[in-house]
Amino acid sequence: MSTPTPYQESSSPALPAPIPTRPVAGRPVDTEPPVFSWTPIPGATRYRVQVASTEAFESILYDDVRERGAALSLGTVLPDGATMIYWRVRTETAEERSVWSEPAHFAVPASEQEAEDAALRVDAAPVPLQPKGMEDPPVDQSAVPFSWEAIPEASGYQLQVAPTENIADPHVDFAVDRTTSVTLYDVLPVEAATYYWRIRPLFRVADPGPWSSPVPFAVAPPATEEDDLAPEAADPQASARAAGPALEARTSRTLSLTVSLIAILSFLATIALIILAG
């Protein structure tokens, strides 16, 4: 286990933190050793994982760089009698690192608490908040935010996203811990202009709660530099207003030259008449 250094203490608010997706929601791990995974962050060169026996992370059991979807044997670091384990993850690059994710938790050996937890199930679906329908503008594919209302006693949530309303073959299907929002970075292909998403609550031991109704939303390709550079005068009226002073200046100069020329010609004509009369 590596020792944290001052380099690891500072963080960049510009670099997003991952969202833990497995193991989460206080549910028992389904593999041994458990596999840890989280949402990907564009530009990340590595991810650091911390494991602790308390949610406050006073005593860290594990602290090291890990790959997404890699198994981690915890048998040698877990304290005797531990039944609930907490973990978190952050993004790191060569120059900066994100803040830590919100802690996720999972159960280890079976405990006497499981029988009590099995009764803690609310038969209600979360209410999707964002995206909330096709009436909203298309969402930038490079960062799609999802949020929903919390369900009492829920220890986590399962999110699914698919290009069809029946969500038979979801493109996104993962669980999160006790959070009510998640942002997917560069995950949804832009080939499908419309997606549907739904959410359901998870409980530590009881069966998952019901799914919400699928909510459609539109995605758009990320904005390019060409899109950001708007024409200087896209408004014809603005163009006319901008050209007005210059046009008026040119007209004034032309009029002045014309008047001067007429005055000179009149003077010459007067001289000629005087000469002829003499």
- C-alpha distances in angstroms, 241 versus 117, 233, 245, 249, 255? 71, 10, 8, 13, 22
Same domain? 133 vs 106: no
- Number of separate domains in the chain: 2
Produce one character per residue of 38-65: b if its CB has 16 or more CB atoms within 10 Å, e if not: bbbbeebeebbbbbbbeeebeebbbbee
Same domain? 155 vs 218: yes
For residues 2 and 88, is the Cβ–Cβ distance under 8 A? no
The answer as to whether 267 is a domain residue is no
| Domain coverage including residue 204 | 128-226
Same domain? 89 vs 146: no
| Alpha carbon distance 86, 203 (integer Å) | 16
The percentage of the chain sitting over the pLDDT mark of 90, rounded to a whole number, equals 49
Same domain? 136 vs 105: no
255 pLDDT more than 70: no
154 pLDDT more than 90: yes
Same domain? 50 vs 93: yes
Q: Cα-Cα-Cα-Cα dihedral of 71, 73, 79, 83, to 10°?
A: 50
| Alpha carbon distance 177, 24 (integer Å) | 5
Count of H-run helices and E-run strands, the chain:
3, 15
96 pLDDT more than 80: yes
pLDDT top residue among 28 and 118: 28
Q: Which of 226, 246, 266 is the last residue of a domain?
A: 226
Q: pTM higher than 0.75 for the full model?
A: no
pLDDT score at 211: 98
Average pLDDT over the chain reads 80
Is residue 7 very low, low, confident or very high in pLDDT (cuts 50, 70, 90)? very low
Q: Which of 76, 111, 146 is the last residue of a domain?
A: 111
Is residue 118 very low, low, confident or very high in pLDDT (cuts 50, 70, 90)? low
The answer as to whether 233 is a domain residue is no
49 pLDDT more than 50: yes
The count of other CB atoms within 10 Å of the CB of residue 71 is 13
pLDDT score at 59: 87
pLDDT score at 3: 42
| Alpha carbon distance 269, 260 (integer Å) | 14
Dihedral sign for Cα atoms in the order 173, 174, 180, 186:
negative
CATH number at residue 61: 2.60.40.10
Q: 185-230 pLDDT, tens per residue?
A: 999 988 778 999 999 999 987 789 999 999 999 999 887 755 555 5
Is residue 251 very low, low, confident or very high in pLDDT (cuts 50, 70, 90)? very low
145 pLDDT more than 50: yes
Same domain? 148 vs 208: yes
The answer as to whether 196 is a domain residue is yes
